[in-house]
Chain A
Amino acid sequence: MSISTALVAERKKSKTVGILSATSNVTVSLETVVSLEGVSVSFRVPKEKVISLKEYVIRFLKGQTLAEEFQALKKVSIDINRGEILGVVGRNGAGKSTLMKVIARVLKPSDGRIKTTGDVSPLLELGAGFHPDLTGRENIFLNGTLLGHSNAKMESRFNDIVDFAELWDFIDAPIRTYSSGMVARLGFATATAFQPDILLLDEVLSVGDERFHQKCLNRIEEFKAAGTTFVIVSHQSDFIRTKCDRALWLDRGKVRLIGEAEQVIEKYQSFLYS
């Protein structure tokens, strides 16, 4: 615990420096783009899966409670700064994906407040938002508009998307004929066709072959250089250690530690293997 407070103190210090530099007209490096203030998310978890109306009515009449509350996030407060890469680690069920959903507007916090500045683009899991019977071309437009882009915008970037995914030969074939690597390439290329202000990656980077993987990393570097903020959930500690500026360790819905990536990963791993 003492380490986490120390890190927080250090962060505060660096933030003051950032503000000072801002006043002296140096590039603002510490503008908060995602801010969570005491965010809690409660799920109603059915005690047993009730899915039929009959069961529901019977239980309701018997006065049985149907669900219990489960807090996936407990009073999480973090500020994420423009242009930083924040890695999120934690064991299964620690609340990592819930955190991403809160940032992506999919879940509303049950308590607390979240503010984001700029457009948030979540990189969907493999194949989500694609329809297997539509062609690659049609899926680019479907997926792009799902992400909130207009048809015209997608049209303007269409060639670049197919170039990046290297799928010109298959673009008019239904994607049920694609290999999973091809689908992943198309998904990544479409989702990153426009530089978002905030990009959310939830365990999606281990896709495609080695060469494409490198291409993805290069694109992330480009975005970072241009000011995109990243929140990345990954179980690959090396990735977090080498690519992320800061890391957040979630443990049963609470912030266990936040700070410099290397240090957080070290603590996290010694916790995991102790």
Chain B
Amino acid sequence: MNSTNVTYDSAQSENPFISELKELFRYRDLVHQLIKRNIKTRYKRSFFGVLWTMLTPVLMTLLFSLIFSQFFVSSLPNFSIYVMSGYICWLFFVQTSSSAMSEIIWGGTLLNRIYVPPSAFIATALGASLIYLGFALMALIGLMALTGQAFSWALLFLPVSLLITACFSVGVGLLLATLAVNFHDTLEMWGIVAQGLFFLTPIFYPATAIPNRLSLVRLNPVYYIIETFRFPFYHGMLAPKHIILTAALSAIVALLLGWWAFTRKIHRTPYLV
């Protein structure tokens, strides 16, 4: 056998950390198709369809405003912008991490029959969530115009804060997906953990509302991610440096750890299913 022609050799094991990246790039058109599938099938047979990606954050904001705005009216003027800018960031995080799990489980039956880089399913979760976030951002901008919220130059920071949020969400999604293929319980468990995290994160209340004895809440990386994202929208300026740095560091750690665990463990999947 002419060794120069060999396209696959099981004895040559590349580092999966690197090779998975290459393979993901090679299958980028698959990711494109899977994102289309995700969007088309998610809202099939619903009247408002993809409009729900705008309606959900708007209605949730309305709900939180009705219930909570009177409590925080002194510390948080224009409460609806405060809630919505935090909530869409949160929604993006939860959507990405949860659909990373559901996508990899859906893909599991395929991975068992055909070679596909498993990370394609995680990339799909990210891509679809980004598109949903795009719609939600449009709704947010509409609400800002409606409520007379000022648009600041700090909004130009959005690509960076988005990148931080995306890296963090994908990192958590990769870790969860790695767990979920081995234990389907992870899906249910994450639902509960995420709910708890939602209440522990200042999304619909100000960070100052957290009593000092609960300062442990400050260890929650999602808090830094959301503050980094929200500041330009609500305060019209960049978040304090230590918040942005903590957010960026959490994102990098989550992504590297997630990618490492995922590429190392996911190939065991066919043995288990």
Contact = CB atoms under 8 A, between A and B. Distances in A.
Given A106-B115, A113-B10, A122-B114, A32 B271 contact: no
B25 to A, nearest CB: 12
A142 B113 CA distance: 15
Given A113-B11, A131-B37, A145-B33, A51 B114 contact: no
Interface in A225-259: none
A116 B33 CA distance: 28
A134 B44 CA distance: 10
Interface stretch (B49-57, B68-76, B85-93, B104-112): B104-112
B185 A116 contact: no
A2 interface: no
Interface residues of B, number: 38
Contacts of B1: 31-32, 35, 115, 117
A43 B183 CA distance: 18
A176 to B, nearest CB: 11
A116 B115 CA distance: 14
Given A114-B10, A116-B6, A116-B8, A122 B272 contact: no
Contact of A141 (B26, B33, B113, B186): B33
Nearest to B32: A151
Interface string A32-58: 100100000001100000011110100
Interface in A143-195: 145-151
B6 A134 contact: no
Contact of A118 (B7, B10, B26): B7
Contact of A52 (B10, B111, B185, B272): B185
Interface residues of A, number: 44
Contacts of B110: 128-129, 146
A112 B9 CA distance: 11
Contact of B30 (A32, A107, A146): A146
B27 interface: yes
Contacts of A133: 40-41, 44
A138 interface: yes
Closest 4 CB pairs of A and B: A145-B30, A105-B115, A113-B11, A151-B29
11 contacts: A54-B185, A104-B115, A105-B115, A112-B10, A124-B113, A129-B110, A138-B40, A145-B30, A146-B110, A148-B30, A150-B29
Interface of B: 1-2, 5-11, 26-27, 29-30, 32-34, 36-37, 40-41, 44, 109-116, 183-186, 189, 267, 270-272
Given A117-B5, A128-B110, A133-B40, 14 more contacts: A31-B1, A43-B271, A53-B185, A53-B189, A54-B185, A115-B1, A120-B8, A134-B41, A138-B36, A145-B29, A145-B32, A145-B33, A148-B26, A148-B27
